[in-house]
Amino acid sequence: MNTLQTLVQRHKAGGNNGIYAVCSAHPLVIEAAFSQALDDNSVLLIEATSNQVDQFGGYTGMTPIDFRHFVLAMAEKFNFPTENLILGGDHLGPNRWQHLTATDAMVNADDLIAAYVAAGFKKIHLDCSMSCADDPMPLSDDIVAERAARLGAIAEKTAIASFGYSDLVYVIGTEVPVPGGAAETLNTVEVTSPQAAMKTIETHQRAFTEAGIADCWARVVGLVVQPGVEFDHTGVIDYCPEKANQLSGVVDNFPHMVFEAHSTDYQTHAAYRQLVQDHFAILKVGPALTFAMREALFNLCEIEAEIIPKAHCSNLRECIEAQMCEAPQHWQKYYHGNESEQRFSRCFSFSDRMRYYWPDSVINQAQATLFRNLSRVDIPLPLLSQYMPQQFQHLREGLISSDPKALVLDTIRQVLRAYSQACTEKLIAEV
């Protein structure tokens, strides 16, 4: 039985357990995730999105097999047991090609799914909720389900051809947050109605049967719904259990299925525990991790400015700002307002469009300079207390070193610890 299926069974049996999915391709985030999972002795779920990784390279420049090799190389480096590692593909469908006709976009989506499955990704989010150039808006549940089942059939065929069998697990859902974040400011979000959730399940089950893959329906472990959590550039919409109470009971009738909650970034510790208790047992986190990383790096820049001669400083912040202004395609349609407001958003927005720019070689060189500068000196404790008080405390307690990279990793792990604690039971994959 697939590890995620085992997790769902334990949750259904009253285990109150869950799992978080690390949705990032940044090496520092992945390293922090491995460290957290090693300390927890837990399974680690790492997901690549269709924006980050596709058959053409995505914004990271990696294909699915490249991403797999990248993650496995890091697992080997940190002695992480690969049997406890799960790779997932997020928002797999025509998302990247919405500017094309549905026919052309779905051909690309077919190849995308095949590439992910052949590369060894085991958790597949079938997301055909977005309209293509010649589609109505919004798409009906029937069209979404039909396209998802088409991709599911390709996934099954690819798995069997590649490995001789299929142990893939699937996530479905039509009420899916926009990949990469919402483009507008949000005041409120509507919780998915129980009726809409049931309709999604019924239409997908029927479509799976019509596509000839009814036998893998029991491997649909997750349904993406909107539990009432979201964030925009400067605010967070908090989880309210009372509003999701009726929705929470929908999966009680499906022994193989829990909810998958997207956009859970920046919720409170108590909210994560409550989400898991209410059957939102797969929690996705992405921007909050690179946001925390950015906070740490910018704080290190402040420390650097205090103790390193200006002529030798990394100028990391200025470098990132210059690169984002030179290539605005990753943030321009998201960050509105005047020049000052856009500059603020580029640096500090919760949606963290900055994450698209970290792979840039010039930015990487500046980051390396920052680390090198601060590795050659003893960071004064008063400065660490001023700019990174949590890490100052952890250093004083002997939990981390003053190495700049260690300080960044610990900041990222502050986010991961909240998710880890909420997921309670630490599920170990059987060899």
**CA distances (Å), 340 to each of 107, 321, 328, 411, in order?**
42, 13, 15, 28
Contact 402, 376 (CB under 8 A): no
pLDDT score at 180: 52
Percentage of the chain modeled with pLDDT above 90: 93
Q: What is the CATH number of domain 3-286+415-422?
A: 3.20.20.70
Q: What is the pTM of this model?
A: 0.94
Fold category of 290-409 in CATH = GI Alpha 1, domain 2-like (1.10.400)
Over range 246-251, report the average pLDDT: 95
Task: Band the pLDDT of 178: cuts 50, 70, 90.
Answer: low
SS3 content of the chain, % helix, strand, coil (to 5): 55, 10, 35
* pLDDT recorded at residue 188: 79
Average pLDDT score over residue span 126-134:
96
Residue 424: the pLDDT is 75
pLDDT score of 383 more than 70: yes
Predicted pLDDT of residue 175: 76
Q: Where in the chain is the domain with CATH 1.10.400.20?
A: 290-409
CA–chain centroid gap for 350, Å, is 14
Pair 149, 210: CB distance under 8 Å: yes
Asked whether residue 221 carries a pLDDT value surpassing 70, the answer given is yes
Q: What is the pLDDT of residue 91?
A: 95
Pair 232, 179: CB distance under 8 Å: no
The predicted model gives 258-270 an average pLDDT of 97
Q: What is the mean pLDDT of residues 290-317?
A: 98
pLDDT at residue 63 tops 80: yes
- Cross-strand pairs, 85: 44
pLDDT for the residue 174: 75
Tokens of 132: 């293509």
pLDDT for res 107: 98
Q: For the chain, where do the domains classified as CATH 3.20.20.70 start and end?
A: 3-286+415-422
Residue 284 in this model has a pLDDT that exceeds 50: yes
